[in-house]
A and B are shown apart, each in its own frame.
Chain A
Amino acid sequence: MTDTWLKRWLYTTNHKDVGILYFFTSLYFGFVGAILALLMRAQLAAPGSNLLSAAYYNQALTMHGLIMIFWFLSPVALGLANYFVPLQIGAKDLAFPRINAMSYWIYLAGGILAVLSFFVPGGTANAGWTTYQPLATLALGTGPTLAYLGMVLLAASVTLGSVNFMVSIIWLRATGMTLSRLPMFTWFMLFTIIAMLFAFPTLIAAFVLASTDRILGTVFFTSTSIQPSILWDNLFWFFGHPEVYIVLLPGFGIIANILPAFTGRPLAAKNAILISTGLVVIPLSFGVWMHHMFLTGIPVSLQGAFSIATIAISIPFDVITLSFIESLVRGRVKFATPMLFALGGVILFIIGGITGVFLSSPVLDRAFRGSYFVVAHFHYVMVGAAIFGIIAGIYYWLPRMTGRMYNEKLGKWHFAISFIGFNVLYFPMNLLSDMPRRIFTYPNQGDWATLNAMASVGAFIFSGAQILLAANLLYTWFRGPIAPANPWGSPDLEWTSHVEGIAPIAESGAAPPTGGWIGQLSGPPQGHETQSRGGAVGHYGHLSSRPIQISIGALVFLIGAAFYPSISGVAGLVVGAGAVVYAFWGWAKDDIEGKFVVPPEDVGDRWPFASVPKLKLGIWVFLSSEVVLFGSFLGAYIFIRAASAQWPAAGSIHEIPLGTFNTLVLVTSGLTMFLALQSIRKGDRRGLLTWMGVTFVLGAVFMGVKVSEWFNLGGSGFVLADPAMSLASSAYYIIVGLHGAHVTAGLLVMAYLMKKTSMGTYTKDSHEAIENFGLYWAFVDIVWCFVFPLFYLL
């Protein structure tokens, strides 16, 4: 393959390249989100303004939130993480490079869907970034559907990325890079990844259900016989509150990472920060979501419990903030640009954090809910702390990425104007606690006009300041002076290792990590990639066209889904599905032909999963997120059952003997898959092929029975259009269909594994793929253990 510039960027799987792609793509989406914000602030600059109509304002408001949170804030951090986490842990790349590239391209495809949604008749989603159902279902048309499907793709991308980062940080650390030595940015990315892993599947479930309501006519959020708004609130906010920390923690990690370099002393109370974040913030972040539901009529006892949990989660942040302050007080602070932004982030977080405490009280929440006080609170946290931290990281690592120094003076102006602009923009909103949010215009009453005018001026100052960031990036890239090898005197590996010949390792004093990528760098890199300072990376045998192909296929498929059942929609579905299948087939072919090989890693520090192989760990991590995905769907079903006054009697819809037979078929396939694994463990390849063949047949029989059941049910009136059956049929077809999709995917993988078995690939000592597939197949079995009784017997 010719190593052209275009092919490099389209087909790259290198972590630095993917990081740069994430970085610039997220900046583009940040620009789109900022334009929408400026439109809103221009509209609200004066009372009674008619710059935007109510409809356009609502669309701008909704997409500003969705784009900024999902396509800018998290991805910009992922861009930095892609680039620097492998360097910080001493790895040559992430654990699964092609999956990393696929995460990026799927993220981009999701963003394209979201942006496309503006340009279809009727416009895009308009019910706010929380897309509260059933309110959001009032927005008819294809635009909102495209945006929702974009969200599904985005969440899928995040899940794949989470698995990849988690395995990388656990498994690819160089020898000597113990957890206690892990740089703070990598630690905080690990925390972020864990939260993403378990939060995003619920978001996928929520948006899949909302999308099927719009596309297929299911009634999860439109039925009047349950409480769909409560169902949505639970699913959305179970994801939504951890999302606050998902957005915040990378910025905090950067601040914690760079403080020692600019204070001249180690980070104060580092272990307390790690314990507070890992053992309190992350678990508790999944236990506070109902403070977003205080006004929905949930029981008072629940309000009390979630109020206490919400107050409790502020305690670890006190620990973190006090640790930062102690570092500053005891150190000799050098006010370089990264430090200024880090300091700004801490100050803004303190303000945002204090206002958050008010919102944890159910009583005060009644006064503040839905007001600009809330808008101020979450922007101080999610824009202030998160973005200021990330900008600190950009300046801090720019010399590492470009080999050149940024302009310090310009950087300081950037900080000063950003900090002033930010506070002029958001502080007045703290005082607008009597003004409702989400209104496109307002009367001239009280001091609303003055405070809104101030906020609008601040918005233009804050946005304008980011031009200085762009200017500084361009300056650094093209005119910046050559950077010293380690301009900040950091002890971290990305600055001190032999990677790319920057500097000797052992400047930190402690014994340096030696294994993994670091250990291999005593000589030139072996056939994997050649690297040079400044981000230019040459790839040899490390390009893959499959990730972008899969992404394009998924994009076309979902555009087709949004326009279903029109002819063009069906065509999109067929072409998109074909493209995805073709790309995965090519992926498998590349593997069989050995076209894409990830060189094995050296032995490194892998505690606490030292004895779990890399791919197996990846499967377990992936399945753990699948547990939450299926759990969310089944939880939604149980909620609907509990909320429904009437439900078709068990046995009246589904044929229990047929369901029992099919369950036994699937259960038996679990045994045969295990026997296949046992065969290859003994070196019996024929036994492997035989038992896997039996498993394949049993899986195919299971799917055949399912399909015939569906046809029979459809023919007997169990359809969405029947009001008496609509909820039951919605739940059955979507959830059982999702399980069926997993079984079908398993059958395809099994066919691939059988082909490789027949080629003699697997031996007594090398059969990891069979073992890992066995895990997946057993998981599919487990899900059915719950689906069968829930749908057939209850």
Chain B
Amino acid sequence: MKSIVAVGVWAYMVLAVVAEVETFYLTTSFATVASVVTVLATSQAVAVVLFYMQLKDEQGSLRLFALIPIMFLSALLIAMLASLGGK
């Protein structure tokens, strides 16, 4: 990967942080802020994994392996929150 791409990823990360903070200041709705920061934080994580950790250049099996903990964790988070729902 060329260094210019890495700088581009960094620029995206900076913009995403600024966007998160701006959303917080501009919006009073908790749901809106939560949605925006979830999307932006996830996109930042994906960018770092693909480019800085260079998963995009790795074998497909490693990419699949990297998804396993995300899958288990998603199940935990969703069910955990659902378990608060009561009867």
Q: Is the CB of A299 within 8 A of B81?
A: no
List 18 other contacts, CB 8 Å, given A632-B73, A667-B10, A670-B13. Answer: A198-B68, A198-B72, A234-B80, A234-B83, A286-B72, A298-B83, A298-B85, A300-B87, A608-B59, A639-B80, A643-B84, A664-B14, A667-B14, A671-B9, A678-B6, A774-B52, A782-B44, A785-B41
Q: Does A225 contact B (CB under 8 A)?
A: no
Q: Is the CB of A635 within 8 A of B77?
A: yes
Query: Which residue of A has the minimal Cβ distance to B30?
Result: A794
A146 to chain B, nearest CB (A): 28
A789 to B44 alpha-carbon distance, docked (Å)? 12
B29 to chain A, nearest CB (A): 12
Q: Which of A6-14, A619-627, A702-710 contacts B (4 or more CB under 8 A)?
A: A619-627
Contacts of A289 in B (CB 8 A): 79
Q: Can you report 24 A-B residue pairs in the complex whose CB atoms are below 8 A from each other?
A: A198-B72, A227-B84, A231-B80, A234-B80, A299-B82, A302-B85, A608-B59, A609-B59, A610-B59, A621-B65, A628-B69, A631-B77, A635-B73, A639-B81, A656-B21, A656-B24, A660-B21, A667-B13, A671-B52, A673-B52, A674-B52, A678-B3, A786-B45, A788-B17
Contacts of B80 in A (CB 8 A): 231, 234, 635, 638-639
Known contacts A198-B68, A785-B45, A793-B33; is-contact A631 B83 (Cβ 8 Å): no
A668 to B10 alpha-carbon distance, docked (Å)? 7
Q: Is the CB of B37 within 8 A of A794?
A: yes
Shortest 8 CB-CB contacts between residues of A and residues of B: A789-B37, A608-B61, A631-B73, A671-B10, A627-B69, A778-B52, A785-B44, A793-B24
A783 to chain B, nearest CB (A): 9
Q: Is the CB of B82 within 8 A of A671?
A: no
Identify B52's interface contact among A297, A624, A781, CB under 8 A.
A781
Q: Does A354 contact B (CB under 8 A)?
A: no
Q: Does A220 contact B (CB under 8 A)?
A: no
Which chain B residues (37-87) contact chain A, with CB distance < 8 Å?
Answer: 37, 40-41, 44-45, 48-49, 51-53, 58-59, 61-62, 65-66, 68-73, 75-77, 79-87
Q: Is the CB of A230 within 8 A of B65?
A: no
Query: Which residue of B has the minimal Cβ distance to A781?
Result: B48
Query: Which residue of A has the minimal Cβ distance to B58?
Result: A612
A670 to B44 alpha-carbon distance, docked (Å)? 12
Known contacts A202-B76, A234-B76, A667-B14; is-contact A302 B82 (Cβ 8 Å): yes
Contacts of B49 in A (CB 8 A): 778, 782
Q: Does A663 contact B (CB under 8 A)?
A: yes
Interface string of A279-315 (1 = CB under 8 A from B): 0000100110110010011111010000000000000
Q: Is the CB of B83 within 8 A of A230?
A: yes
Q: Is the CB of B3 within 8 A of A675?
A: yes
Identify B85's interface contact among A234, A299, A670, A781, CB under 8 A.
A299
Binding site for A on B (CB under 8 A): 3, 6-7, 9-10, 13-14, 17-18, 20-21, 23-24, 30, 33-34, 37, 40-41, 44-45, 48-49, 51-53, 58-59, 61-62, 65-66, 68-73, 75-77, 79-87
Known contacts A611-B59, A786-B41; is-contact A198 B48 (Cβ 8 Å): no
B76 to chain A, nearest CB (A): 5
Interface string of A763-794 (1 = CB under 8 A from B): 00000000000110011011001101110011
Q: Is the CB of B6 within 8 A of A794?
A: no
Interface string of A435-453 (1 = CB under 8 A from B): 0000000000000000000
Q: Is the CB of B69 within 8 A of A631?
A: yes
B58 to chain A, nearest CB (A): 7
A747 to B24 alpha-carbon distance, docked (Å)? 32
Binding site for B on A (CB under 8 A): 198, 202, 227, 230-231, 233-234, 238, 283, 286-287, 289-290, 293, 296-300, 302, 608-612, 617, 620-621, 624-625, 627-628, 631-632, 635, 638-639, 642-643, 650-651, 656, 660, 663-664, 667-668, 670-671, 673-675, 678, 774-775, 778-779, 781-782, 785-786, 788-790, 793-794
B41 to chain A, nearest CB (A): 5
Contacts of B24 in A (CB 8 A): 650-651, 656, 793
Q: Is the CB of B17 within 8 A of A628?
A: no
A288 to chain B, nearest CB (A): 10
Known contacts A612-B58, A656-B21; is-contact A782 B81 (Cβ 8 Å): no
A466 to B18 alpha-carbon distance, docked (Å)? 66
Identify A628's interface contact among B62, B65, B72, B81, CB under 8 A.
B72
Summarize A's interface: helix, strand, loop or mixed: helix
Known contacts A609-B59, A664-B14; is-contact A642 B45 (Cβ 8 Å): no
A664 to B45 alpha-carbon distance, docked (Å)? 14
Q: Is the CB of B79 within 8 A of A302?
A: yes
Q: Is the CB of B76 within 8 A of A635?
A: yes
A789 to B87 alpha-carbon distance, docked (Å)? 31
Contacts of B37 in A (CB 8 A): 789-790, 793-794
Residue in B40, B51, B77 with the greatest tally of chain A CB atoms within 10 Å? B77
Q: Is the CB of B34 within 8 A of A794?
A: yes
Contacts of A664 in B (CB 8 A): 14, 17
Query: Which residue of B has the minimal Cβ distance to A617?
Result: B62
Known contacts A627-B69, A778-B49, A793-B37; is-contact A638 B86 (Cβ 8 Å): no
B13 to chain A, nearest CB (A): 4
A328 to B46 alpha-carbon distance, docked (Å)? 50
Contacts of B59 in A (CB 8 A): 608-612
A289 to B82 alpha-carbon distance, docked (Å)? 13
A668 to B65 alpha-carbon distance, docked (Å)? 28
Query: Which residue of A has the minimal Cβ distance to B9?
Result: A671
A611 to B63 alpha-carbon distance, docked (Å)? 13
Q: Is the CB of B76 within 8 A of A631?
A: yes
Q: Is the CB of B20 within 8 A of A778?
A: no
A782 to B66 alpha-carbon distance, docked (Å)? 14
Q: Is the CB of B13 within 8 A of A789?
A: no
Q: Is the CB of A612 within 8 A of B62?
A: yes
Q: Is the CB of B86 within 8 A of A297?
A: yes
A298 to B81 alpha-carbon distance, docked (Å)? 10
A202 to B45 alpha-carbon distance, docked (Å)? 21
Contacts of A675 in B (CB 8 A): 3, 6
Q: Is the CB of A670 within 8 A of B76?
A: no
Q: Is the CB of B52 within 8 A of A302?
A: no
A198 to B68 alpha-carbon distance, docked (Å)? 9
Q: Is the CB of B48 within 8 A of A297?
A: no
Residue in B49, B58, B84 with the greatest tally of chain A CB atoms within 10 Å? B84
Q: Is the CB of B48 within 8 A of A620?
A: no
Identify B76's interface contact among A227, A238, A300, A786, CB under 8 A.
A238
Residue in A287, A617, A632, A671 with the greatest tally of chain B CB atoms within 10 Å? A671
Known contacts A624-B68, A786-B45; is-contact A778 B82 (Cβ 8 Å): no
A617 to chain B, nearest CB (A): 8
Query: Which residue of A has the minimal Cβ distance to B60?
Result: A608
A277 to B47 alpha-carbon distance, docked (Å)? 34
Residue in A631, A782, A785 with the greatest tally of chain B CB atoms within 10 Å? A785
A396 to B52 alpha-carbon distance, docked (Å)? 48
A667 to B47 alpha-carbon distance, docked (Å)? 12
Query: Which residue of B has the minimal Cβ distance to A786?
Result: B41
A650 to B30 alpha-carbon distance, docked (Å)? 10
B57 to chain A, nearest CB (A): 10
A610 to B33 alpha-carbon distance, docked (Å)? 43
Residue in A609, A621, A667, A779 with the greatest tally of chain B CB atoms within 10 Å? A667
Query: Which residue of A has the minimal Cβ distance to B23?
Result: A793
Q: Is the CB of A632 within 8 A of B76?
A: yes
